[in-house]
Amino acid sequence: MAVKDVSNKVPIYKLKTTEEVMKYYDEWGTNNKYDQDMIDWDYTGPKETVEIFKNHAKNKEIKIYDAGCGTGLVGVELKKYGYNNFDGADLSQKLLDLVPHGLYKNLSKTDLNKPLNIKDNEYDAVLCVGTFTFGHVKPPALDEFIRISKNKGLLCFTINEGIYEEYGFDKKIKELTEKNLWKKKEFFKSNYIASKNVNAWLGLYEVTK
Ligand SMILES: C[S@@+](CC[C@H](N)C(=O)[O-])C[C@H]1O[C@@H](n2cnc3c(N)ncnc32)[C@H](O)[C@@H]1O
C-alpha cells in the first residue's frame, strides 16, 4: 500500500539536524506559541496516548518517564487520571521552562538520541508522544527505553506515519519482538493531528526481561 506523503504538512518535518530541531522548538515556545498551535491544530496525541495507557497501568503510583515532554501536555493528561510520579525530559530548555511548576517530579534537558544518564530498571513506564517524527528521535531510543524500564514495565509511544518505515521503526519493532524484549499490547493508527491529515501509529508494549 502506498505510504501517504505527510512531509509537507508541518514546518518541523523539514528539519534535519538535532541542532535545527532544538533551535526551532526554543523559538516555538516564545509567547506560548507551541501550546496555542497544538490547540489550533487539534493535536490529540497526548490525550489519545494517555487514554490507552491508563487502561493498562492501573497503579497510579508507578514511576513514569515522559520522553520528549515538551511543555508537559502528556503530564497534564497523566495528572487528570491521577498519576503523580512522573519525570520529563526534552531537548528544548525553552519548552521545559514552560512546563507548569510542580507537575513533574524532575525535568531534565536531554538528547534522547544519546545514551540516557539513567540506571537500568528505573521506571515502571516510558511514554513518548510526538517525538518519533521527522528529524527528531530515532529507533535506537527504544533500546534505551527498554533498558531503563523494569520487567513488565510499559512503553507507550506514537510514531508519525511519515517516518515509520523511512526511519526503520517497522524493522526495530520487529527486531524487539523477535528478541522477546517486549510484548505487543496495542498497535493502531491514531488520529494524532487529524486537522492536518497526519496520523501516527500508537503502540503500547510490555517489557519482558
Ligand atoms: C511534537 S513535540 C511533542 C512534545 C510533547 N510530548 C507533546 O506531545 O506535546 C516533540 C518534542 O520532541 C523534542 N525533541 C526533539 N528531538 C529531541 C531529542 N533528540 N531529544 C529529546 N527531545 C527531542 C522537542 O523538543 C519537542 O518538545
Domains of the chain: 11-207 (3.40.50.150)
Lowest mean pLDDT among 7-11, 70-74, 106-110: 7-11
Beta carbon of 74 within 6 Å of any ligand 1 atom:
yes
Burial of 163 (0-12, 13-18, 19+ CB in 10 A): buried
Measure Cα distances from 142 to 17, 49, 59, 136, 162 in Å: 19, 17, 23, 13, 18
Q: How confident is the model at residue 2 (pLDDT cuts 50, 70, 90)?
A: low
Of the candidates 71, 116, 60, the residue with the CA atom closest to the CA atom of residue 93: 71
pLDDT of 1 above 60: no
User: Are the C-beta atoms of 107 and 68 separated by less than 8 Å?
Assistant: no
Q: Is 91 in the pocket of ligand 1 (CB under 6 A)?
A: yes
Atom of ligand 1 nearest to the CA of 137: 19
For residue 148, pLDDT beyond 90: yes
Overall average pLDDT of the 141-166 stretch: 98
Mutate which of 40, 129, 131, 133 for ligand 1 pocket (most atoms within 8 A of beta carbon): 131
Task: Select from 77, 91, 96 the residue to mutate for testing ligand 1; criterion: most ligand atoms less than 8 Å from CB.
Answer: 91
For atom 10 of ligand 1, the residue with the nearest CA is 131
Q: What is the pLDDT of residues 81-98, one digit of tens each?
A: 999 999 999 999 999 999
